[in-house]
A and B are shown apart, each in its own frame.
Chain A
Amino acid sequence: MKGIKKLIASILMVTLLSTLFVGCGADENSEVSKDATTQGSAASKDTEQDASNQQQTDEKENITLEVYLSHTDVAEVNAAIEAFGKEERFSHITLNVADEMADYDTKISVMIASGTPIDIMSLENPIKMHNWASAGTLLPIDAYLEELSINYSDYFGEAGARASQVQEETYLIPYAQTKWLLAYNKDLFDAAGIAYPSATQPMTMDEYRALAKALTRGEGEDKIYGALQLTWPQFWYAPAILELGGGEAFYNDKGLSNIENPAFAQALQFNYDMQHVDGSIPTYAQAKISQLKAISFMNGKYGMSLLASWALPWFGNEEKYPRDWKVGLAPMPTVSEGDARQTFGVLGGFGIPRSSEHPKEATEVALYLSEKVAEFTKGEIPAYQNYDPDELVGAILANFAEDDVTQEHIKAILLDPKITSVSEKITGINASQYETVMNEEVEKYFVEEQDLETTIANIKKRADEIILMD
Chain B
Amino acid sequence: MVKNMYKRLKKKNIILSIILLLFSLMMAMPVFWMISAAFKYESEIFDFPIKWIPEYVYLDNFKTVFNDFPYVNWYINTLIVTFFIVVATLLVSSLASYAFARMDFTGKGTIFAIYIATLMIPLEVRIIPQFIVFKELNLIDTHAALILPWLFNGFAIFLLRQFFVSIPFELSEAAKIDGCSEFRTFLQIILPLAKPALMSLTIITFTWSWNSYMPPLIYINSSTKQLISVGITTLRSQYVENFGGQMAGASLALVPVIIVYLLAQKYFVEGVALTGIKG
Contacts and interface: CB of A to CB of B under 8 A. Distances in A.
Contact of A293 (B46, B136, B233): B46
Given A103-B233, A296-B46, A110 B218 contact: yes
Interface in A271-327: 290-299, 310-311, 314, 319-322
Contacts of B44: 299
Given A102-B230, A311-B239, A321 B217 contact: no
Interface residues of B, number: 34
Contacts of A113: 128
A114 B218 CA distance: 11
B169 interface: no
Interface in B227-269: 230-231, 233-234, 236-241
A111 B127 CA distance: 11
* A-side interface size class: 35 or more
Given A102-B233, A221-B48, A299-B43, A22 B132 contact: yes
Contacts of B224: 99
Interface string B41-55: 111101111000000
A107 interface: yes
Contact of A221 (B49, B60, B231): B49
Nearest to B69: A100
Contact of B238 (A74, A290, A297): A74
Contacts, number: 84
A296 B47 CA distance: 8
B237 to A, nearest CB: 6
Contacts of A417: none
Interface string B106-149: 00000000000000000000011101110110000000000000
A304 B48 CA distance: 19
B162 interface: no
B200 interface: no
A333 to B, nearest CB: 22
B234 A101 contact: yes
B223 interface: yes
A115 B221 CA distance: 15
Contacts of A296: 43, 46
A293 B231 CA distance: 22
A107 B217 contact: yes
Nearest to A98: B221
B185 to A, nearest CB: 18
A342 B41 CA distance: 34
A71 B237 contact: yes
B50 to A, nearest CB: 11
Contacts of A25: 132, 136
Interface in A12-41: 19, 22-23, 25-26
A71 B238 contact: yes
A295 B241 contact: yes
Nearest to B239: A310
Contacts of A115: 135
24 contacts: A22-B132, A25-B136, A26-B136, A98-B221, A102-B233, A106-B217, A106-B218, A110-B127, A110-B128, A110-B131, A113-B128, A114-B128, A114-B132, A116-B135, A221-B48, A221-B49, A292-B46, A293-B46, A294-B239, A296-B43, A298-B42, A299-B44, A299-B47, A321-B42
Interface of B: 41-44, 46-49, 56, 60, 127-129, 131-133, 135-136, 217-218, 221-224, 230-231, 233-234, 236-241
A-B pairs with lowest CB-CB distance, top 6? A99-B223, A298-B43, A102-B233, A299-B43, A100-B234, A291-B46
Interface of A: 19, 22-23, 25-26, 70-71, 73-74, 98-103, 106-107, 110-111, 113-116, 124, 221, 290-299, 310-311, 314, 319-322
Given A110-B218, A296-B43, 8 more contacts: A22-B132, A23-B129, A23-B132, A106-B217, A111-B131, A115-B135, A291-B46, A299-B43
